[in-house]
Amino acid sequence: YFGMSVTTAKLSAEGVYTIIGVPRAGGSGKVYAYNSDFQLLLAKEGDQIGSSFGTTVCAVDLNGDSLDDLVVGAPFFSDTTDE
């Protein structure tokens, strides 16, 4: 579903970006970043089939550098390593 999650983020000095989550794209989900002219700048695909990467997107400054950091939800991601 294109646009299931949407946020805006100031990820660099160039301006504010529109971030769109598409949790069913390509089987694992994708997140797209567009500039103010709605030109595609980034398309990031989830790492695991069925993880629903992009179900939620959130922009927040986690490290205090005055720029937003992007947090992407993948609620069905599963880590199968034995630790």
Tokens standing for 31? 């997140």
- Sheet containing strand 30-34, edge to edge, reads 5-12, 15-22, 30-34, 40-45
Q: pLDDT at position 83, please?
A: 62
pLDDT at 82: 64
Q: What is the mean pLDDT of each run of 10 residues along the chain (83 residues)?
A: 89 91 94 94 94 96 95 91 66
Would you kindly state where each structural domain of the chain is located, as residue ranges? 5-73
What was the pLDDT predicted at 79?
83
Pairing of strands 15-22, 5-12: antiparallel
Instruction: Please name the residue that has the structure tokens 């595609």.
Output: 40
pLDDT recorded at residue 60? 96
Model pTM score:
0.85
Instruction: State the pLDDT at residue 70.
Output: 95
What pLDDT was estimated at residue 2?
85
